[in-house]
Amino acid sequence: MLNISIVLYHPKWEQEVMPLVTELLRVKCLRKIYLLDNSEKDWLREHVDMEKAPVSSDKIRYMAMPENLGYGRAHNIALRESAYHNTAFHLVMNSDIRVQAEDIDAMCDFMLENPQVGQLMPKVINPDGTQQYLAKRLPSPMDVFGRRFLPKWLMKKRNERFELRDKDLNRPINAPYLSGCFMLLRTKAVVEAGLFDERYFMYPEDIDLTRTIHRNYLTLYYPQWTIIHAHAQASYKDKHMLRVHIQNMCRYFNKWGWLFDRERHTFNNL
């Protein structure tokens, strides 16, 4: 019923990947876990004891990419497998997530009982228990660039609206943008949406895919379940990743519209 894909880049095998995969193997409805490694050639052999690496189970398929394909393009490899095998659901997730196997089974049961739901994301918290606001409205250029380069006090109200803090986050919300850190997808819905747009190397592909699915299905933030996310926020710490973020957000607005995006206006009227 469920495939899971995790894109890796210089992964923390013992600290993150091994505990996560061990837990995911407990998921009752699991068909296959795809570990899609975007690290440079021979990185794994040089840094990981393969006898301890979690790639021995017949439910795990480890795939070393020939180059760093980017986030969406790598996940699409596994998504196409889900479509080919008619696997009902596909979970796209980060390796820095902590989740209970029982919760994933419960989420899949919920999706099975609610065919109008095309995508689901649970409540996401930091390791210290504080909430991450990862269900959002669709961003405008000001939302993206203002929150990075303008004073926080100037963007405070706008950020709160963008992050749906004007809503009751203890109740389900049909949000047009759900974070790529944990995307439980109905395979039929994501195929109809066209999978991840591979023109993005990383960052806005989750916005792009959620809003496309949102046209025909509910894309739900559903706080009945909670996961932990040790969010790295690489583009806030690395100038190269900041440049990648800016370049790909420009591609996003070139595709959907900078100032004039009628669908954004409609979807954001929650």
- What pLDDT, on the 0 to 100 scale, is given for residue 14? 81
Q: Can you tell me the mean pLDDT for 174-189?
A: 98
Using CA atoms, how far residue 206 sits from 3, 169, 178, in Å, is 18, 20, 7
- What pLDDT, on the 0 to 100 scale, is given for residue 47? 64
Question: Phi, psi (5° rounding) for residue 191?
Answer: -65, -45
- What pLDDT, on the 0 to 100 scale, is given for residue 180? 96
Q: Which of 205, 181, 180, 178 is nearest to 16 (CA)?
A: 181
pTM to 2 decimals? 0.93
Distance CA 241, CA 204 (A): 13
Q: Are strands 97-98 and 135-136 parallel, antiparallel or unpaired?
A: unpaired
* Residue 127 contacts residue 230 (beta carbons within 8 Å): yes
Burial (0-12, 13-18, 19+ Cβ within 10 Å), 149: exposed
The residue ranking higher by pLDDT, 136 or 155, is: 136
Q: Can you tell me the mean pLDDT for 164-169?
A: 97
Judged by DSSP in three states, 154 sits in helix
Using CA atoms, how far residue 84 sits from 158, 221, 230, 236, 242, in Å, is 42, 28, 32, 38, 36
Judged by DSSP in three states, 133 sits in coil
The residue ranking higher by pLDDT, 71 or 53, is: 71
Provide the pLDDT confidence category of residue 4 given band limits of 50, 70 and 90. very high
- What digits encode the pLDDT tens for the residues 111-150? 999 999 999 999 999 999 999 999 999 999 999 988 878 8
Judged by DSSP in three states, 206 sits in helix
Helices (H), 85-204: 101-113, 141, 147-149, 152-162, 187-193
Distance CA 264, CA 144 (A): 14
